[in-house]
């Protein structure tokens, strides 16, 4: 049974006890128990650093708490060592049977999962992918038998639960960054509530221990949710941070961030700088400008190195942020400075030592969902006060620091929300509902969500899955639904893959889906926009951005390995994205084989000529709920939801066709639909009459067209 709310405080005596014990259990003869090899010099030097982390003092208390409770909540300031150390404590305390059970530690972000796994592998002096590994979507660097500690994105653990509902591979689950309240973490918490009573001591698969870790002060909320599980507070060791505001609002926060950073470099004492921006493009642009400006400042100032950090950055480059700032230009002179320009990921997930200055423009990309028009979008939005405080806190890790907020103090108090809404209240739920259905959870309304999603959002999800044929009219998972749940994709893309063999083009569709699953295939640098457009034109198919991607992918695959990089460079194609797409495609092919889905190419002559019409038909069969038509006025309106949209300027489709399907609805200053393909009404009514039913179709210009299309369909059926 779980005890009432209790708090475990750290007394002096236990501090000593833990110190004594530590030295004994960690270096028995300097042999690494995991590998049987002597510890490296590097291990010993990292060990020293690790032992200075605040959580180190907590080791015994934590192990004790985990021993005595099924669930423990840990709250500790960012950088106190929770993510890297606590799973190791649990491991060393013997909660795992190597070869049989292991620990999973969840992370909301891919970069955090990979980077922390790498770090912990170093800390344990083992090879990444062996005893310590990670699993993120489309990438599994772990060993099914050997791995005892795995960092995994919350979404991937949820996927694993679908084939292992009792999570029997694990004897301990650490839900990290719980304060972020991502959709998957919230669902995992609800799921654990169902699993835990079935995994008590003496149960078939043994006891499952759960540790919930959070950075902010509302850990009590988790404690309450988990029926009063004990809460451990790890005191942080932070220094004061002085906060500055602008006197008036900034018109352009990227430019203001660059300016402020350069000002710090020029006028402030030594210490590294962390700048928060919202996405890859913005970050790369800011980095470039900072490098340029630093170059122009001349050699009187210490050297400035600038590193970007965002999720799609390749691992070697991600690791650079942990490198030390450059040495002084002259012996004895002021040492160089490091600037890291990062997305939210550096807010709590990753700690970079040496940061003394933080530049906070007050924005991040956040998911928003409008169930009424069924649109989920990433929108650059103001952060919450809680986030702003976290960001500021990053400046005070090693010594007193400064935080420059690029907004007014009034704005901080009056415009920012206290906390960010949990993602579950801002997301579409179709994927989650499919997952839960697969897990056998039918009563979604009574599922124990910490914050239940809006009923309308759940309705929309059920409706979408029903239209796609994943759920029948009783809400039961169909065979198609089972297949769809095996694919780690958005339900519409899953359906697209599953039905593509019927159209004789599954080989092409899986390439397209792979390209859709990676960021930005085409590069368009500002200074070479024309050349980039010309390069893209070689691949473009006038009716389809999807087929344009396919053409690029096919061309890339045809190039010998060693020339691919150069080829990408010459053609303004993102080399990294293509490599990723290649990997994703291999994984999808594996799942297709498992599902017995035939791989058929529409290139029947094998000369690279695809059956474009078949491909467009296949796309229509999956994406029929994402279509828009051109009104007489010339504007496009989304079908059924009646949203005014424009084709994104990056689209190759410029013929202004009557009907298009689209991949993405981008909310910016205007509503854009992005990645579009020409479709037509006859296909739509014959493939999805249940969706385009006249009875429920709102009055609009398209309705008359629909009626005609149905008449044509009936006529052609009578003839055959």
Interacting residues with ligand CDP (CB under 6 A) = 53, 76, 78-85, 115-116, 119, 322, 351, 353
Nearest alpha carbon to residue 599 among 491, 470, 490, 503: 503
Binds 119: which of Mg ion, ligand CDP, none (CB < 5-8 Å by kind): ligand CDP
Backbone angles phi, psi at 471, to 5 degrees: -120, 140
Q: Report the alpha-carbon distance of residue 303 to residue 334 in Å, rounded.
A: 9
Chain Cα centroid distance, residue 407: 28
The minimum distance between CB 403 and ligand CDP, in angstroms, equals 18
84 binds, among ligand CDP, Mg ion, none (CB under 5 to 8 A by kind): ligand CDP
To the nearest whole angstrom, how small is the minimum distance from the Cβ of residue 56 to ligand CDP? 10
DSSP states of 55-97 as a string? GGGGHHHHHHHHHH-SEEEEEE-TTSSHHHHHHHHHHHTT---
Q: How far is the CB of 678 from ligand CDP (least distance, A)?
A: 47
Dig out the tokens for 93 from the structure: 């305390």
- Taking the complex as a whole, the smallest distance from the CB of residue 113 to Mg ion amounts, in Å, to 11
State the sign of the Cα–Cα–Cα–Cα dihedral 95, 97, 100, 106.
positive
> Counting runs of H as helices and runs of E as strands, what totals does the chain give?
26, 22
How far apart, in whole angstroms, are the C-alpha atoms of residue 195 and residue 104? 15
**Residue 616 parent element (H or E):** helix 612-623
How many beta carbons lie within 10 A of that of residue 44, not counting itself?
Answer: 12
Nearer to ligand CDP, 322 or 421 (CB): 322
CB of 502 to ligand CDP, least distance (A): 46
* Backbone Cα Rg of the chain: 27
| Shortest spacing between CB 237 and ligand CDP, in angstroms | 11
Q: How far is the CB of 188 from Mg ion (least distance, A)?
A: 17
Compute φ and ψ for 599, nearest 5 degrees: -100, 105
Of 613, 609, 585, the residue nearest 599 (C-alpha): 585
What is the C-alpha separation between 195 and 161, in angstroms, rounded? Answer: 10
Binding flag, residue 500, Mg ion (CB under 5 A): no
Binding-residue pattern over the window 547 to 566 for Mg ion, x denoting contact by CB under 5 A: --------------------
Residue 332 makes CB contacts below 8 A (sequence gap 6+) with none
Interacting partner of 184 out of ligand CDP, Mg ion, none (Cβ under 5 to 8 A depending on kind)? none
Q: Which residues between 236 and 265 bind Mg ion (CB under 5 A)? A: none
Q: Any contact of residue 107 with Mg ion (CB under 5 A)?
A: no
Quote the strand ranges of 203-281, DSSP E. 209-214, 231-234, 241-244, 272-276
Neighbours of 430 (CB within 10 A): 23
From the list 31-39, 74-82, 222-230, 628-636, the region that binds Mg ion by CB under 5 A is 74-82
Least distance from ligand CDP to the Cβ atom of residue 457, Å = 31
**Residue 560 CB, nearest approach to ligand CDP (Å):** 35
Choose between 322 and 567: whose C-beta lies nearer to ligand CDP.
Answer: 322
Count of residues that bind Mg ion according to CB under 5 A: 2
**Binding segment (CB under 5 A) for Mg ion, from list 81-89, 385-393, 437-445, 555-563:** 81-89
- Among residues 106 and 506, whose Cβ is nearest to Mg ion? 106
53 binds, among ligand CDP, Mg ion, none (CB under 5 to 8 A by kind): ligand CDP
d(CA 139, CA 583): 8
Q: Could you give the CA distance from residue 6 to residue 1 in angstroms, rounded to a whole number?
A: 14
Nearer to Mg ion, 83 or 278 (CB): 83
Nearer residue to ligand CDP within complex by CB, 83 or 427: 83
Give the nearest distance from C-beta 52 to ligand CDP in angstroms. Answer: 9
Selected range binding Mg ion among 25-33, 80-88, 367-375, 579-587, rule: CB under 5 A: 80-88
- Cβ proximity to ligand CDP, 219 vs 588, nearer residue: 219
Instruction: Please give the C-alpha separations between residue 594 and each of 311, 480, 498, in angstroms, as whole numbers.
Output: 30, 14, 12
Contact 344, 180 (CB under 8 A): no
User: Taking the complex as a whole, how short is the minimal distance between the CB of residue 134 and ligand CDP, in angstroms?
Assistant: 12
Q: Which does 257 bind (CB under 5 to 8 A by kind): ligand CDP, Mg ion, none?
A: none
How many Cβ atoms sit within 10 Å of the Cβ of residue 452?
Answer: 17
Residue 113: closest CA among 185, 217, 57: 185
Cβ at position 396, least distance to Mg ion in Å:
17
Whose CA is closest to 141, among 126, 130, 129, 151? 129
Residue 488 binds which entry of ligand CDP, Mg ion, none, CB below 5-8 Å type-dependent = none
Mention every residue, 6+ apart, whose C-beta is less than 8 A from residue 165. Answer: 195, 439, 440
Cα dist. 442→195, 387, 447, 471 in Å? 15, 36, 9, 11
Considering the complex, what minimum distance in angstroms separates the CB of residue 422 from ligand CDP?
Answer: 20
521 burial class (0-12, 13-18, 19+ CB within 10 angstroms)? buried
What is the DSSP secondary structure assignment for residue 301, as one 8-state letter? S
Query: Please, which residue, 69 or 83, has the CB nearer to Mg ion?
Result: 83
Min separation Cβ 82 and Mg ion, Å = 5
- Tell me the two tokens of residue 639: 């079908």
Closest to Mg ion by CB, 83 vs 343, is 83
When the beta carbons of 84 and 671 are compared against ligand CDP, the nearer one is 84
Tell me which of ligand CDP, Mg ion, none is bound by residue 190, counting a contact when its beta carbon lies within the kind-specific cut-off of 5 to 8 angstroms: none
Q: Nearest approach, Cβ of 297 to Mg ion (angstroms)?
A: 35
The full length of the chain comes to 720
26, 18 contact by CB (below 8 A):
no
Label residue 374 left, alpha or beta by phi (over 0 means left) and psi (-120 to 50 means alpha).
Answer: left
Cβ-contact 148, 157 below 8 angstroms: no
Which residues neighbour 477 within 8 Å (Cβ) at sequence distance 6 or greater?
434, 437, 438, 470, 471, 485
Residue 467 binds which entry of Mg ion, ligand CDP, none, CB below 5-8 Å type-dependent = none
Is 118 or 435 the residue whose CB approaches ligand CDP more closely?
Answer: 118
Instruction: Tell me 699's DSSP state.
Output: S
Residue 53 or 489 having the CB closest to ligand CDP:
53
| Closest of 356, 477, 434, 459 to residue 187, by C-alpha | 434
Q: Is 83 in the site for Mg ion (CB under 5 A)?
A: yes
Q: Which residue is nearest to Mg ion (CB)?
A: 83
Structure tokens at 627: 């279509």
Choice between 126 and 213, CB closer to Mg ion:
213
Choose the one of ligand CDP, Mg ion, none that binds residue 79, judging by a C-beta under 5 to 8 angstroms depending on kind: ligand CDP
Range in contact with Mg ion (rule: CB under 5 A) among 76-84, 246-254, 649-657, 705-713: 76-84
Contact region with Mg ion (CB under 5 A), list: 75-83, 277-285, 520-528, 530-538: 75-83
In terms of CB distance, is 53 or 461 closer to ligand CDP?
Answer: 53
Between residue 675 and residue 714, which ones bind Mg ion under the rule CB under 5 A? none
Compare residues 215 and 666 and give the one whose CB is closer to ligand CDP: 215
Q: CB-wise, 354 or 491, nearer to ligand CDP?
A: 354
Question: 74 or 552, CB closer to ligand CDP?
Answer: 74
CB of 322 to ligand CDP, least distance (A): 5
Q: Give the nearer residue to ligand CDP in terms of CB position, either 353 or 451.
A: 353
Shortest Å, Cβ 78 to Mg ion: 6
Binding residues for Mg ion, rule: CB under 5 A, are: 82-83
């Amino acid at each position: 049974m779980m005890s009432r709310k209790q708090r475990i405080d750290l007394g002096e005596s236990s501090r000593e006890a833990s110190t004594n014990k530590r030295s004994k259990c960690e270096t028995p003869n300097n042999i690494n128990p995991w590998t049987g090899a002597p510890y490296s010099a590097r291990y010993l030097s990292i060990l020293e650093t690790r032992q200075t982390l605040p959580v180190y003092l907590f080791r015994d208390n934590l192990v004790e708490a985990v021993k005595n409770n099924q669930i423990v909540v840990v709250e500790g300031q960012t950088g106190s060592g929770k993510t890297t150390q606590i799973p190791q404590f649990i491991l060393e305390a013997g909660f795992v049977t190597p070869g049989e059970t292991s620990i999973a530690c969840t992370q909301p972000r891919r970069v955090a999962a990979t980077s922390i796994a790498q770090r912990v592998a170093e800390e344990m002096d083992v090879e990444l992918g062996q005893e310590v590994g990670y699993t993120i979507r489309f990438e599994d660097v772990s060993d099914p038998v050997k791995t005892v500690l795995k960092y995994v994105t919350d979404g991937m653990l949820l996927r694993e639960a679908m084939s292992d509902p009792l999570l029997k591979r694990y004897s301990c689950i650490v839900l990290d960054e719980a304060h972020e309240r991502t959709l998957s973490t919230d669902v995992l918490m609800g799921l654990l509530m169902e699993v835990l009573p079935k995994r008590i001591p003496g149960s078939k698969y043994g006891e499952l221990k759960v540790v919930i870790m959070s950075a902010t002060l509302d850990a009590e909320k988790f404690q309450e949710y988990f029926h009063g599980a004990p809460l451990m507070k790890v005191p942080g060791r932070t220094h004061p941070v002085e906060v500055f505001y602008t006197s008036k609002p900034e018109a352009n926060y990227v430019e203001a961030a660059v300016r402020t950073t350069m000002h710090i470099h020029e006028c402030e004492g030594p210490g590294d700088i962390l700048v928060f921006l919202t996405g890859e493009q913005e970050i790369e642009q800011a980095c470039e400008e900072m490098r340029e400006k630093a170059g122009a400042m001349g050699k009187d100032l210490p050297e400035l190195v600038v590193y970007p950090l965002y999720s799609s950055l390749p691992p070697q480059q991600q690791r650079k942020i942990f490198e030390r700032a450059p040495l002084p230009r002259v012996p004895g002179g002021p040492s160089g400075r490091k600037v890291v320009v990062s997305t939210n990921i550096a807010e709590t997930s990753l700690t970079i030592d040496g940061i003394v200055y933080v530049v906070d423009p007050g924005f991040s990309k956040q998911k928003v969902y409008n169930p009424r028009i069924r649109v989920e979008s990433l929108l650059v939005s103001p952060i919450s006060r809680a986030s702003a405080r976290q960001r500021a806190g990053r400046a005070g890790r090693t010594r007193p620091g400064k935080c420059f907020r690029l907004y007014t103090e009034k704005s901080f108090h009056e415009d920012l929300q206290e906390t960010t809404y949990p993602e579950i209240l801002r997301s579409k739920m179709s994927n989650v509902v499919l997952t839960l259905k697969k897990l056998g959870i039918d009563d979604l309304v009574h599922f124990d969500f910490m914050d239940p999603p809006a009923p309308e959002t759940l309705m929309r999800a059920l409706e979408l899955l029903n239209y796609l044929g994943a759920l029948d009219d009783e809400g039961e998972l169909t065979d198609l639904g089972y297949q769809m749940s095996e694919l780690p994709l958005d339900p519409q893309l899953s359906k697209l893959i599953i039905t593509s063999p019927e159209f004789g083009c599954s080989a092409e569709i899986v390439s397209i889906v792979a390209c859709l699953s990676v960021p930005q295939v085409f590069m368009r640098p500002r200074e070479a926009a024309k050349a980039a457009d010309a390069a893209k034109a070689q691949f473009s198919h006038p009716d389809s951005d999807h087929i344009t991607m396919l053409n690029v992918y096919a061309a890339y695959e045809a190039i010998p390995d060693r020339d691919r990089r150069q080829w990408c460079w010459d053609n303004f194609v993102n080399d990294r994205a293509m490599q990723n797409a290649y990997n994703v495609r291999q994984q999808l092919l594996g799942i297709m084989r498992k599902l017995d889905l035939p791989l058929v190419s529409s290139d029947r002559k094998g000369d690279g000529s695809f059956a474009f019409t078949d491909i467009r038909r296949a796309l229509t069969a999956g994406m029929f709920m994402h279509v828009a038509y051109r009104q007489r006025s010339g504007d496009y309106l989304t079908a059924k939801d009646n949203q005014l949209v424009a084709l994104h300027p990056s689209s190759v489709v410029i013929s202004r066709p009557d009907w298009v399907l689209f991949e993405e609805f981008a909310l910016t200053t205007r509503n854009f639909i992005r990645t579009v393909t020409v479709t037509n009404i006859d296909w739509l009514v014959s493939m999805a009459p249940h969706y385009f039913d006249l009875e429920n179709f709102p009055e609009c210009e398209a309705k008359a067209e629909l009626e005609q299309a149905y008449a044509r369909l009936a006529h052609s059926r009578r003839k055959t």
